[in-house]
Structure 1
């Protein structure tokens, strides 16, 4: 019985400590965005295209080895292309991190 009470008390204490976490309160923080030069954008685009090609090669191998169907691979390729276009539209900025804590109690 003492162990059960100790576990309950510890769980409640941890829950109450996490309610006052600064990340949970700071939901409107906007870090400053870096403005890339055209040369930097070109270099980032080249690296992103290389990553995209490597992902496509990897998925192709999974299809070749029978781990994925061609339809699944096509969906993945489509998703990769959409992600690349989104990155390109946003000038290859790093996406903002959305902490999970802000979705907990809505």
Structure 2
């Protein structure tokens, strides 16, 4: 019985310690206030545009190969354009929000 009690205590210690560590990590992940220079924004914009074009090319290939229906591809392409605009509006600083998209009409599909 002592062995079981010790095991439960040890397990509780690790579990509670893990929760405390997670809370500390969340506090330390506050976004730093960073302002990018115009040159840095220009470089990031160029990289994001290259990435955007590559992703669009991949989606279009999936349509061409019959892997993805045209309607779904159009939806993905629209989302990519909107996402690029948001990135641009936020000055190319990553946005740290972790919420799911509840407005997807087909949540069970892997978009």
Is the structural similarity TM-score above 0.5? yes
- Residue 24 in 1 paired to residue 23 in 2? yes
**Pairwise CA RMSD of aligned residues?**
2.5
Structure 2: how far apart are the matches of 1:41 and 1:91? 7
Shift of 1:11: 5.8
Q: Which has the higher contact order (CA 8 A, sep 6+)?
A: 1
1:4-43 matches, within 5 Å, as 9=8, 12-21=12-21, 23-25=22-24, 26-27=26-27, 30-43=30-43
The TM-score, its normalising length taken from structure 2, stands at 0.68
How many residues align structurally?
92
**Structure 1 unaligned regions, length at least 5:** 99-106
Shift of 1:73: 0.3
1:96 match: secondary structure: coil
Structure 1: how far apart are the matches of 2:29 and 2:47? 29
